[in-house]
Chain A
Amino acid sequence: MDSHSIATTVDAHGHDVAHEHEHPAYLRHHFVSYEQQTETASFGMWLFLLTEIMFFGGLFTAYMIYRNWYFPAFVAGSHQLSIFLGSLNTLVLISSSFTMAMGVWCAETKRHKGLVWALIATLILGIGFLGIKSVEYHEKWEKHHIPGDTFSVQSFVNPDSDAEAKAAHDKPLGLDMARKTEVYFSLYFAMTGMHALHMIIGIALLCGMLFKAVRGGYMDGNIAFVENFGLYWHFVDIVWIFLFPLLYLISRHQ
């Protein structure tokens, strides 16, 4: 604690220049050991995921309140969603979570090929998820189920005019309740939209990671990024695990 001694010099970007004992190059200057650095990184990532929980928390709160208020509208609204596509997407996302977990394992055990293939699989599955989601969104667009000025309650006041509503044997809703389906679709788009946004951010990060992995990255033991991305990807998966039953499944009975 002698303030005037000049011992080691450390530059602002954290690379030890004069430390005698061996440290890997990726150990940043302010950490004592690599373990401290990775633990710190994953703790930070978890705290970030907590903010994500709260971020979606507001939407879940809104969903619970309005589902109780406008149950028939939520039933009719959920009949507009395809269980097949929803289930397929769940399958896709769980698989991508699995491949990502395998990717983390490959990185931990320094399997270069495995990591690259796991990341490619994750990437394809992630893009596949968004593809299926966009098919669903497109259908909503065509049927004027996007909230806003163009929103149409036709499918709900006159279910016979609508294939999905007819298939679900929907009874016509009163105009007032039919209008409340806009609340359902507002939440549907807000929740799945926020989820999709997280997927898009994830895919962008994944591309960068894959690029680095192909060129031999992450084989030197510095896999904090892979691990933390894994945490993020699994979190996005968990959000979907809740969105799928809430939006697609639980309201199907009336």
Chain B
Amino acid sequence: MSTIVILPDQATARVPKRNYLTNENGILSWLLTGDHKRIAILYLISITFFFFIGGALAGLIRLELLTPQSDLMASDTYNKIFTMHGVVMVFLFLVPSVPATLGNFLIPIMIGAKDLAFPKINLLSWYLYLVGGAMTLGAMITGGVDTGWTFTTPMSTHFSNTNVITTGLAIFVAGFSSIFTGLNFIVTIHRMRAPGMTWFKLPLFCWAHYAASILMVLGTPVLAITLVLVVLERTIGIGVFDPTKGGDPILFQHLFWFYSHPAVYIMILPGMGVISEVISTFSRKRVFGYTAVAFSSVAIAVFGFFVWAHHMFIMGVSNYAVLVFSLLTMLVAVPSAIKIFNWTFTLYKGSITFETPMLYAFGFMGLFTIGGLTGVFLGTSGTDIHLTETYFIVAHFHFVMVGGMLMAFLSGIHFWWPKMTGRMYPEKISQLAAVVTFIGFNFTFFPQFLLGMLGMPRRYAAYPAEFQVLNVFSTAGASILGVGYLLPMIYLVWSLKYGAVAGANPWQATGLEWQIQSPPLTENFTTIPIVTQDVYDYEWLERQKEHEVTHVG
């Protein structure tokens, strides 16, 4: 099968001696760095750490569900484990995953800037993330927390005697990390673009991050104040959510989901940005309907704020509010559909190759389509009654978050790995890993749709025996999935030393980030670029190459 990869002559090629990795040495040069690329690497390491913690917890959950009885662990242990799995995966992996690593690394380069607008705040946000992560781990080690990651009141305020306060504050701190990241991105994209880099020359990756950042900045503080109120209710006993004092527990749901619904767009939008870049590059083609894809990101961000109560359809909100929120939910589904079709038609008349990032991107498209369409099942109020709070919803959001976001994350990591490290990952084994992940994923989560249809409730440590076969399938799939995630971990580390030297532009891609050396210099560009070419302008790239050839000749 043909490939677009063009690597420099391995016999003579070297990773450039001067780059952001070698610019300064010593642990302090990393811990006090203002360089967005180094902070991205720091994030990448810490996020991977938390991903494997969350993944290990997921493994325990699946093991427990192998049998109908709660035999591996007692039910309160199980409750603590799925709570921690949710907290770690949502707040410490999914929310920061693509933005804090790839976004941090690439946005300044893509727009032709030397750094993010506020490098110190960027570093601060990593430290906040660490503090939040450490507090979460602390809460986990000192007895855990058993409220579920949704902290439903009055369960979390009055009926749980686990570490709700520590975990709540951990999420509060991690939330500010996310706010600062989003704030930094918005300001950077507005203010730091290179001359000639107009809004419609921005890569779609930047558009997606811009949209996600709006949600981070405007949504997260509502979660923060909600958690503060929960903590105050637990400590001094104020009565805002407590039904015995006249508070309304549903108000907590409103405030919590006002953030936590947009949060799913915070998680998925950056992933969509990655997919736009990858599909364009490996089809050698401008993204079909660039403006439609760009504006659909913004539309998702804006509409994302109007739909939160669809998490509460059966919770006794007013029937009329259900009508409104259900209708708006249908509207927010449309931009996602637009994106899927535009990606599909980007392939049309392209010149497609199937390197690993592209395989992950195909995986993303399939799984996200399923995840999105099943979201419509849940946004439709009549069917939501049957399906919500069952494994159907678990399967749905895992299709979107793991099948969508994690696929996109891996796609992006592979795609930009040469840029970040200067070395290629091994192609064959990584393609294998992509296929294994896809198969394992479907094996794990597709049975859960059926379980949900059959009515198996989520968060059950023990379940009726008739659901066992599908659960066994799911657990078996999870072990395949685990292998799929461990493989990249191994060969990516291997490639740091033994990977082929990548050169500046192994994919022959058009973005500004591919026109500089890999790994980049600390200041990214020796001179600030003046952008004249269009975005995804492959013809410009061809001319550029010819020019170089004639120049050298």
Residues of A bordering B, CB below 8 Å: 1-8, 10, 12-14, 28-32, 36, 39-40, 43-44, 47-48, 50-52, 54-59, 61-62, 65-66, 69-70, 146-149, 179-180, 182-183, 186-187, 189-190, 194
Contact = CB atoms under 8 A, between A and B. Distances in A.
B148 interface: no
A62 B222 CA distance: 12
Contacts of B246: 66, 69-70, 179-180, 182-183
Contacts of B179: 48, 51
Interface string B524-551: 0111110000000000000000000000
Given A1-B529, A3-B504, A10-B114, A54 B219 contact: yes
A75 B225 CA distance: 25
A66 B243 CA distance: 12
Contacts of A6: 18, 526
Interface string B249-262: 00100110010000
Interface of B: 16, 18, 23-24, 29, 33-35, 108, 113-119, 121, 179, 183-184, 186-187, 190-192, 217-222, 224-226, 228-229, 232, 236-240, 245-248, 251, 254-255, 258, 504, 515-517, 522-523, 525-529
B503 to A, nearest CB: 9
Contacts of A50: 217-218
Contacts of B528: 32
A14 B33 CA distance: 11
Chain A binding surface, main DSSP class: helix
Given A43-B191, A186-B239, 17 more contacts: A1-B516, A1-B525, A6-B18, A8-B523, A12-B29, A12-B33, A28-B119, A51-B220, A58-B221, A65-B251, A146-B236, A147-B239, A147-B245, A179-B246, A182-B245, A183-B246, A183-B247
Contacts of B526: 2, 5-8
Nearest to A52: B221
A51 B119 contact: no
Nearest to A187: B240
Nearest to A180: B246
Nearest to B244: A179
Given A6-B18, A29-B523, A62-B251, A54 B222 contact: yes
Contacts of A182: 238-239, 245-246
Contacts of A56: 225
Interface centre among A1, A48, A65, A183 (most CB of B within 10 A): A1
Contacts of B222: 54-55, 57-58
B236 A55 contact: no
What are the nearest 4 A-B pairs in CB distance? Answer: A3-B517, A186-B238, A30-B114, A55-B221
B254 A61 contact: yes
Contacts of B251: 61-62, 65
Given A1-B516, A43-B190, A30 B229 contact: no
Nearest to B175: A51
B372 to A, nearest CB: 27
Contacts of B16: 3-4
Contacts of B184: 44
Contacts of A179: 245-246
A149 B35 CA distance: 50
Contacts of B515: 1, 3
Contact of A43 (B187, B504, B517): B187
